[in-house]
Structure 1
Amino acid sequence: MSLPSGAPAAVSRVPEAVHRRRWAILAVLMFSLLIVVLDNSILNVAVKTIATPAPTGIGATQSELEWAINSYTLVFAGLLFTAGLLGDRVGRKKVLLGGISVFGLASALAAFSSSPGELITWRALMGLGAAFVMPATLAVLMNVFERDEQPKAIGIWAGSVGLGIAIGPITGGALLEHFWWGSIFLVNVPVVVIALIAMAVLVPDSRDPAPGKVDPVGVVLSIVGLVLLVYGIIRGGELADFTDVTVLAPSIGGLVVLAGFVWHEKRSSHPAIDISYFGKPAFSAAVAAVALVFFALMGVTFFSAFYLQSVRGYSAFQSGLLVLPLAVAQMVFAPRARLVVDRFGARAVCAVGMLMVAGGLAAFAVFDAETPVWVMCVIFFVQGAGMAHVMPPVTVAVMQALPRERAGSGSAINNTFRQVGGALGVAVLGSVLSTVYRGDIEKHLDGVPAAARGVAGESIEATLGVAAKLGPAGKPLVAAANDAFIGAMHVTALGSAGVALIGAVVVGLFLPGRAGAPAQEPRGQEPAPAERTAEAAPAE
């Protein structure tokens, strides 16, 4: 059906040999993406073990544990945009192979870290490798699938992201039950080797045939701006205080530098990214939706881990299993989201998806220490189904807004907004959770020794640790900690739901409705040349 009138253009863009193995290529891309996304969450379940003194762990402090997580996020988010640009220039396959190799090497080094400082360093190097993998996978996808199949392929790609987020805790919990803490990193090495071989054999290379001059000023401004902004966000989450000078200075500095980046790109004769794309309401709404949905999701992922383990008493492995319905829903519905979009339009589908996410988040506001497991599973499934009807359509809108030659840039924009949104979600909603919890628990600390009172009020884990040392006298404090955390979770859940509702309004106002669909699928199957395919989707 796709051969007649558009065949010559299609063959020139996607050779027949590549077209025949496109689904095998997608499987390899998903495999590569899965380990990167999975490793972004797998460390969370190992923090208690790593904090234990040697030989069980490496005796990391709370601050060192936070930076073992944040060093990855900081480097990853800061370099995503630059990695996408580099892939467009030198070739996405080369960038993909290089990124996954660095990721595998850093994983092996992290597994055998003998100190917290080494672990932080190697985690940062893993973030460097991951930054080059993630945008390249989506860029390659856009260059091996024709336009009519891209929504389906992107749906499968988005489903693998959700799967990675959900199975990270399961994988980490299973490994920690049988092996030492470094196994959560060492397991990446054989997976990376398999991925490298499969990529070398199956994945074709692609790049922008006319990339123009390099924009070094734009590249430097994007890196500095993103690193400063993300550092400020992370720092605010650590302190649970966004008014501290060490939070405000980098955050405001990052925003100023990014404003300078936009100003420079508008005036440059060879910009790294064409800022005019953000003038299209559908494009801007799509990237905003990506940020908002991950803001809400990562926030709830953060507090649900403590709810399941600290309040309900589930192990890391059991907690991971409880979140599995979210992954299942994404894997089931994300590849089929395009069919619903064809019938009802991106605006309606994404708005309803956002409302489902908001509803799932709001449900946490009625959870307590006795909420049945099956109810939690249903809520996670609803959240996953909602995300499955948001992420593929908005990703399609972002990626089809740019020419194939700039697919790396489009993927970088998509992933940068997602990463910054997720970091903000953890920092802001984590700060809300911490502030409300501290306010509630402080009135129950009168029986705690003065020297331990400050530590006991920091978090539910700290409170439970102090209560355990008090013996039988600490039982009332355990009950108070659980009640205080559940109250804080209710407030945070409503905040998360509010953010998702804002996302529903944004996509409801600015994404194209069903009436715009025909323009995206020209009759006669005219997959226009690559320069023109970019213009169809978001213009409506």
Structure 2
Amino acid sequence: MASTPVDHSAPATAASAQPGSTRFRGNPWLALIAVSFGLLMVQLDGSVVAIANPAIGKDLGASTAELQWVTNSYLLALAASMILGGKLGDRFGRRLYYLVGVGGFVVTSVAIGLAGSVEGVILFRALQGLCGGILMPNTLGILRAVFPPGRFGLAVGIWGMVSAVSTSLGPIVGGLLVEHVDWTWVFYLNAPIGVVALLFSMAVLTESRNSGDRRRFDIAGVVLLAAGLLALVFGIVKGETWGWTSAGTLGSIALGLVLLTVFCRYETRQESPLLPMRLFRNRSLTTGAVMTLLNFFVMLGGIFFIMLYLQNVRGYTPVEAGVSTLPMSLASLVASPLGSQLTARFGPRVTIPLGLVLSAAAMFSMLTWTVDSSYATMWPPYIAMGLGVGIVLPATAAAIIGNAPVEDGGVASGLQSTMLQIGGALGTSVLVTVIAGRVGSSLFGELTGAGVPASVARGLEEAEDAVAMGIAPVSSDMPAQLKAAVVEGSGQAFVNGLHSAVTVTGILCLLGAVAAVLGIRSRAQEAEAGAEAPVVVAAH
């Protein structure tokens, strides 16, 4: 693991066994298993809900806008609470707040299934996101406290493997539950996982905190950061719906950036800041945060348009679409531990560019996809993407958390998790806009080229939003020949949009690879900085 030695404290500083601890309590590998249960629950839920949304809308009579809020309320709450969750864990107990997050996630998941109205689902989804924001950063905070530096990279690699595989399995699990049981079980599934997580975690986790910190908690910083992130992420997720140049989108994003700027200036004046600005003096940590955003821009944005292509253009069922992307999951399974080992040996300055180049290769290879591509053209990009994203994930964690002092492990983990959520929101929103723009400019030509009369094609241009989702605007009263032509032309227009999206994403990956080489310190520079760094002992 490439980590600037900003402190030389013991690997489990501030982690002390509680009275009556068993021989299992405090074991780093058991702690890794414990936090993996919580991580599995949150990551699986994040990707499984997209499959359940159509069934939720049908069962509860929800509008498209309301269904968007089923996703957005969770995303906003999650993004706004990550850094706060990490800070609470650092200050008052990482084990405590991990357990609080898991318990709250279970309760709100069951409440969503029992809500009976879309308004109730939206409310409890927001509360579920808040619990996820408390839970997530403390998973890595706990690992940072219990693993020695030499093993932390491997632990993060396994953490990344669980995260990537959980996200990839979401469509399969969700499809099976929606098709064969009921959409509510997408949420009820969290109950048994969460109960196991609670019982196992209580048995094996030791408490760790910065017990020497008794300074005033930064309430104003919490408010400023939450408001800034809410405004920023809200503008991002609504950009595709409202238009990126609309007053609402630009106003929301601008407000978020202003509030975050005020937050940063305020934090530099605080004795005990929520997010210590001194962390960003480390160039490798700052670059790692940006690379985390880019990595999940690629991962979640890519999965989003791949699922649209498979289900709406190729006609796969949700389960078939999930199974077809299994090579991506299997590649991630291998890539995350591999990435951690490569990072331990060569540093994130090497492994992050390597992963981003693989992701770029995956994107550019999708330029060969057509409306009737064989599976032989699909699985190679899946593997390259799984390897790329999987290698980058532990490397960015090493760059961020490994370069933060142990006492700021939860905050650093919260920063990584926040960048992850913002990157995912940007990936889906921006790439949908790219696809929609290309669909709008090519739809008429593709429809007429497929044999649709110009007068009919002109009228169908109004359905470009549906085509941008891969849905052909056909009706039951269309003649069979015309319907086939509309399906062919619409599918080709969507593929044009997909090609634009993968081109943009591939170029961003290559730019990111260059930025990582320039922004992350080499091993020689780290060794030099480590020799000059003062010894800092974490508070017990």
| 1:468-515 Cα distance to aligned partner (Å, 9 max, x none) | 553523221111110000001000110111111121011111212243
1:88 positional shift: 1.4
Q: Report what 1:512 is aligned to.
A: 521
The aligned amino acid for 2:223 is V
2:78 maps to 76
Alignment partner, residue 148 of structure 1: 150
Corresponding residue of 2:49 = 43
SS in 2 for 1:410: helix
CA contact (8 A) 1:405 1:530 kept: no
Deviation at 1:430, TM superposition (A): 1.1
What code does the residue aligned with 1:397 have?
A: A
* Residue 496 to residue 133, structure 1, CA distance change in 2 (3 Å): same
State which of 498, 505, 509 in structure 2 corresponds to 1:496: 505
Is 2:467 the counterpart of 1:464?
no
The corresponding residue for 1:224 is 227
Deviation of 1:373 after TM superposition, in Å, equals: 1.3
Paired residues for 1:152-167 under 5 Å: 152-167=154-169
User: 1:379 offset after TM fit, Å?
Assistant: 1.3
Q: Which residue of 2 aligns with 1:405?
A: 407
Letter in 1 for 2:31: I
Distance of aligned partners of 1:279 and 1:353 in 2 relative to their CA distance in 1, 3 Å threshold: same
| Cα offset, 1:401, TM superposition | 2.0
Whole-angstrom CA distance in 2 between matches of 1:316 and 1:19: 41
- 2:109 is matched with which residue? 107
Q: How far does the alpha carbon of each residue in 1:68-95 deviate from its partner, in whole angstroms, 9 at most, with x for none?
A: 1111101110111111111112211121
- Quote the offset at 1:281 in angstroms: 1.4
Q: What residue identity is the alignment partner of 1:228?
A: A
Indicate the SS of the match to 2:521: coil
Instruction: Please give the alpha-carbon distance, in whole angstroms, between the structure 2 residues aligned to 1:339 and 1:429.
Output: 32
Aligned match of 2:4:
none
Moved more, 211-220 or 508-517: 508-517
SS at match of 1:498: helix
- The code of the aligned residue for 1:296 comes to V
Structure 1: where are the runs of 5+ without partners?
A: 1-5, 523-527, 533-540
Residues paired across the two proteins, number: 517
**Cα gap change, 1:429/1:12 in structure 2, threshold over 3 Å: closer, same or farther?**
closer
**Residue pair 1:460, 1:482 contacting (<8 A) in 2 also:** no
Q: Which residue of 2 aligns with 1:419?
A: 421
Tell me what 1:88 maps to. Answer: 90
* Cα pair 2:309 2:470 within 8 Å, conserved: no
The answer to whether 1:58 aligns with 2:67 is no
Instruction: Report which stretch shifted further, 448-457 or 215-224.
Output: 448-457
Q: Partners in 1 of 2:327 and 2:72 — Cα distance?
A: 27
Give the Cα–Cα distance (whole angstroms) in 1 for the partners of residues 256 and 297 of structure 2: 19
Residues 321-470 of structure 1: pairs in structure 2 closer than 5 A: 321-442=323-444, 444=447, 454-455=462-463, 457-460=465-468, 463-464=471-472, 466-468=474-476, 470=478
What CA deviation, in whole Å up to 9, does each residue of 1:323-356 have, x standing for no partner? 2222222221211323323443321222111111
1:486 maps to which of 485, 488, 495: 495
Q: Distance in 1 between matches of 2:527 and 2:269?
A: 35
Letter in 1 for 2:472: L
How big is the shift at 1:237?
2.3
1:262-341, aligned counterparts within 5 Å? 262-341=264-343
Distance 1:202 1:234, change over 3 A: same
Q: Deviations over 1:98-151 (max 9, x none)?
A: 111111111112113322222211211111111111101111111111111101
Please state whether the residue corresponding to 1:125 is helix, strand or coil: helix
In 2, the alpha carbon distance for the partners of 1:517 and 1:449 equals: 61
Matched, 1:236 2:239: yes
Query: Which whole-Å CA distance do the structure 2 matches of 1:234 and 1:290 have between them?
Result: 18
Which residue does the alignment assign to 1:3? none
CA RMSD of aligned residues (A): 2.5
1:260 is matched with: 262
Counterpart Cα distance in 1 of 2:375 and 2:328: 14
* Residue range with higher mean Cα deviation, 510-519 or 475-484: 510-519
> Any conservation in 1 of the 2:14–2:209 contact (CA below 8 Å)?
no
CA apart distance, 1:442 = 4.5
Whether the 8 Å contact between 2:401 and 2:413 is mirrored in structure 1 is yes
What is the deviation of 1:516? 4.6
Distance 1:196 1:375 in 2: 43
Q: In 2 relative to 1, CA 84–345 (structure 1 residues): closer, same or farther, beyond 3 Å?
A: closer
1: CA distance, partners of 2:526 / 2:338: 17
Return the offset for 1:45: 1.2
Any gaps of 5 or more consecutive residues in structure 2? 1-6, 18-22
TM-score by length of 2: 0.90
Change (3 A) 1:40 1:216: same
Q: Deviations over 1:208-266 (max 9, x none)?
A: 12332211221111000000000000110223x11111111111000000000111112
Secondary structure of the corresponding residue to residue 149 of structure 2:
coil
Deviation at 1:158, TM superposition (A): 1.1
Larger deviation: 471-480 or 414-423?
A: 471-480
How far off its partner does 1:519 sit? Answer: 6.6
Return the alpha-carbon distance in structure 2 between the equivalents of residues 71 and 189 of structure 1: 21
Q: Distance in 1 between matches of 2:13 and 2:257?
A: 42
Q: 2:127 corresponds to which residue?
A: 125
CA–CA separation in structure 1 for the residues paired with 2:334 and 2:50? 26
Deviates more, 1:510-519 or 1:424-433: 510-519
Percent of paired sites with the same residue: 29
Larger mean CA deviation between 295-304 and 256-265 belongs to 295-304
What is the DSSP-based 3-state SS (H/G/I as helix, E as strand, rest coil) of the residue aligned with 1:210?
coil
Q: Distance in 2 between matches of 1:266 and 1:79?
A: 20
Are the aligned partners of 2:348 and 2:398 in contact in 1 as well (CA < 8 Å)?
no
Q: Distance in 1 between matches of 2:303 and 2:121?
A: 24
Displacement of 1:159 after TM fit?
Answer: 1.2
| Amino acid in the other structure paired with 1:325 | P
Relative to the length of structure 1, the TM-score reads 0.90
Q: Structure 1: which amino acid aligns with 2:353?
A: A
Superposed, 1:147-226 pairs within 5 Å as: 147-211=149-213, 212-226=215-229
Distance of 2:114 and 2:472 partners within structure 1: 31
Match for residue 535 of structure 1? none
Whichever residue aligns with residue 43 of structure 1, its letter is V
Q: Is the Cα–Cα contact under 8 Å of residues 347 and 513 in structure 1 kept in the other structure?
A: yes
> Which has the higher relative contact order, 1 or 2, with Cα contacts under 8 A spaced 6 or more apart?
2
Q: How far is the alpha carbon of 1:61 from its aligned partner? A: 1.7
Q: Secondary structure of 2:207's partner? A: coil
Counterpart of 2:118?
Answer: 116
Q: Which of 474, 483, 490 is the equivalent residue of 1:474?
A: 483
1:26 maps to what in 2? 32
Shift of 1:450: 9.3
Q: What amino acid sits opposite 2:485 in the alignment?
A: P
CA contact (8 A) 1:19 1:145 kept: no
Question: What is the letter of the counterpart of residue 418 of structure 2?
Answer: T
One-letter amino acid matched to 1:483? Q
Secondary structure at the counterpart of residue 268 of structure 2: helix
One-letter identity of the residue aligned with 2:425: A
